[in-house]
Structure 1
Amino acid sequence: MVMRPPVPPFTRASAIEKVRIAEDAWNSRDPARVALAYTPDSQWRNRAEFITGRSEIEAFLTRKWTREIDYRLLKELWAFTDNRISVRFAYEFHDDSGTWFRAYGNENWEFDAEGLMRRRIASINEHPIAELSRKFLWPLGRRPDDHPGLSDFGF
């Protein structure tokens, strides 16, 4: 049995910690690392794509980060209950032609008793932005602790 603390039941502090851990993992852009946070049979809905299990998650993320270059993500807690967390997020990336995009969305997460995510439901919208409109300017990797968050940007 693998534990991925913090584990349910969540408090406000542990839910915020779980969100930041997820943000940090996704900003690593390491599909294998990210996939380990999910149960082996985890179920996802990502936009109109339905994904089941770690191998499909890893394949999806590999495709995603091949096409979404210089990806940087911010997540923020929206709500939580015993074993569920809801987040708002935004991320920026550019494609291989150099066009920048910002995506906004919401995710609903459900966790097992060990703190692994067994269900992820994501709704996402994106639009092109001018490179000068970018807000997420830290070096690739973990967002610095003093970098503004979603609410600071009014997103």
Structure 2
Amino acid sequence: MVPETRPPLPPFTAATATEKVRLAEDAWNSRTPEKVALAYTVDTRWRNRSEFVNGRDEVVAFLTRKWNSELEYRLIKELWACDGNRIAVRFAYEHHDDAGNWYRAYGNENWEFDDSGLMRVRHASINTLPIAETDRLFHWPLGRRPDDHPGLSDLGL
């Protein structure tokens, strides 16, 4: 049986870590929990805000719940730092609830990967603020952020 691999593989350089971050952003912007979960080890461990998630099945359940309530979700991730098999990321995402109230969430993630490039640990710290619809900055069609759309630093976030 061939083990799962998810290139780029550690140890990460700035270039390969940047690629890994964009691949993660693209997957999360798909809003497909089963697809996203494949980037994590079978026994992955997460801390997302105050919630603890263990294993791919719980990842799928968590993301399904998340995207059922965070409508029109659009995410931008940016590399903060990398070393060996670890990557630090900052991110922002926008969404609205079922009442039409818009929000922007800001956060940081710390990731640790196994030798096959699968994420085994994810720690996320996130703050969510209400925003007016007119203050939205992420306007691309749902799905992958276009390559020419500004990133976090370009947007002043």
Counterpart Cα distance in 1 of 2:117 and 2:69: 30
Of 137, 152, 155, the residue aligned with 1:153 is 155
What is the CA distance between 1:154 and its match in structure 2?
A: 1.2
- Which segments of 5 or more consecutive residues in structure 1 lack a partner in the other structure? none
Shift of 1:153: 1.2
Shift of 1:99: 0.1
Task: Report the alpha carbon displacement of residue 79 of structure 1 after superposing the two structures with TM.
Answer: 0.2
Instruction: Give the corresponding residue for 1:131.
Output: 133
User: Among the aligned pairs, what percent are the same residue?
Assistant: 71
> For residue 120 of structure 2, what is the aligned residue in structure 1?
118
> SS of 1:6's equivalent?
coil
Aligned partners of 2:61 and 2:92: how far apart in 1? 22
- What is the total number of aligned residue pairs between the two structures? 155
Residues 23-78 of structure 1: CA deviation (Å, up to 9, x unaligned): 00000000000000000000000000000000000000000000000000000000
Q: Alignment partner of 1:41: what SS? A: strand
The code of the aligned residue for 1:83 comes to: N
Describe the SS at the equivalent of 1:115: coil
Compute the TM-score of the two structures, normalised by the length of structure 2. Answer: 0.98
Give 4+ residue runs of structure 1 displaced > 2 Å after superposition: none
CA drift of 1:126 comes to 0.5
Structure 1 residue aligned with 2:46:
44
TM-score (normalised: structure 1)? 1.00
Question: 2:72 aligns to what SS in structure 1?
Answer: strand
Alignment of 1:26 onto 2:28: yes
SS in 2 for 1:151: coil
Q: CA deviation at 1:103?
A: 0.1
- What's the counterpart of residue 101 of structure 1? 103
SS class of match (1:23): helix
Structure 1 residue 151, shift from structure 2 partner: 0.2
Aligned-residue CA RMSD in angstroms? Answer: 0.3
1:153 aligns to what SS in structure 2? coil
Tell me how far apart the structure 2 counterparts of residues 89 and 133 of structure 1 sit (CA, whole Å). 17
Where does the alignment leave 5 or more consecutive residues of structure 2 unmatched? none
Q: Distance in 1 between matches of 2:47 and 2:117?
A: 19
Letter in 1 for 2:154: D
Which residue number corresponds to residue 78 of structure 2? 76
Q: Note the C-alpha offset of 1:104.
A: 0.1
